[in-house]
Amino acid sequence: MTLLGKTAIVTGAAAGIGRHIALRLAQDGAQLLVADIQDGAATVDAVRAVGGQADYLKCDVSEESAVQAFAAQVRERTDHVDILVNNAGINGEARLILDMPLAAWERTLRVNLTGTMLVVREIAPLMISGGGGRIVNVASNVARRGLPFRGDYVASKWALLGMTQTLALELVGHGIRVNAVCPGPVEGDRIEQVMEMHALAEGRTLADVRRAWSEETPMKRLIEPDEVAAVVRFLVGDESSAMTGQALNVTGGFIMT
Ligand code: NAD
């Protein structure tokens, strides 16, 4: 199934999972807008190298005025957006909730939760005016469980699923489907940092944390970013036409509810 002629925005696509999602959608024909706080040139180059089309637009999803300026730039380029993947997110710090500075808590929720709301609020009208669209929010396996030392991140991802269900109900009449993916630990630079953070906070070695995270997964391994991108591709395609308000686990069997 092709995405030819579709315009897709992926936030946080300058690196990591977002770059893999952008590449996957571009390979299937979508015209990509890479929205990120950091330079997205490497992703744009990677998309063009596989024959796809992409442009980078700077956007700090956590700042209302920046998201509005970003949306204005999008409107200058196109009158319709078909696909929005809200992938931009931050780890937060490794802190017990009882030791959590308010500023750290608020920063994580601001980027991961409020940022998604702002982007949807500014971009969904470009879907509504064109008769519909697909939104995918990148949540996490910790949107399904608690995890010590990560209270801000966990809360932001649980809330993202609540917002996904609410948006699905609010936008269904406009022909917009809204779903989420919940990945387990994904191979890449970021997961190394996250495991180091846990090792330090829990008094374990990095090797112990990596072994434990693989062992507790039925498939005994971490997730590849392309495996997340493939599920996002499914959710933005016609193959998932009867699905909205859903959250798909991509966790190697670790989460089954
Ligand atoms: P990453 O740090 O490699 O990439 C995140 C991207 O988001 C970066 O390009 C960064 O510049 C961008 N970003 C950060 N703050 C931003 C802001 N305010 N505005 C715009 N862009 C911003 O992380 P990743 O591992 O690729 O994670 C991507 C998403 O997947 C995140 O939402 C993360 O919570 C989620 N996730 C990751 C894992 C994992 O193991 N890596 C697991 C589950 C869920």
- Tens of pLDDT, residue by residue over 101-126, are 999 999 999 999 999 999 999 999 99
Q: How far apart are CA 124 and CA 128, in angstroms?
A: 6
Which tops the pLDDT comparison, 46 or 257? 46
Domains in the chain, CATH or no CATH each: 7-186+224-250 (3.40.50.720)
**What sign has the CA pseudo-torsion 197, 201, 207, 210?**
negative
Q: Give the distance (Å) from ligand 1 centre to CA of residue 225.
A: 12
Ligand 1 centroid–CA 88 distance in Å is 5
Phi then psi for residue 144, to 5 deg, are -120, 0
pLDDT of residue 125: 98
> Is the beta carbon of 249 within 6 A of some atom in ligand 1?
no
pLDDT band at residue 1 using 50, 70 and 90 as cut-offs: low
pTM: 0.98
- Biggest CA-to-CA distance, the chain: 53
What is the model's pLDDT at position 137?
99
Active site residue 153: yes
For tokens 């490497």, what's the residue?
42
Say how far apart CA 133 and CA 236 lie, in whole Å. Answer: 8
Given a contact cutoff of 8 angstroms between Cβ atoms, the answer to whether 55 and 44 are in contact is yes
Cβ of 92 less than 6 Å from ligand 1: no
- In the reported structure, the alpha carbon of residue 173 is separated from the centroid of ligand 1 by a whole-number distance in angstroms of 30
Alpha carbon distance 173, 25 (integer Å) = 25
Which phi-psi region, left, alpha or beta, contains residue 76 (left: φ > 0; alpha: ψ -120 to 50)?
alpha
- Give the residue, out of 61, 161, 190, with the most ligand 1 atoms within 8 A of its beta carbon, to mutate for a pocket test: 190
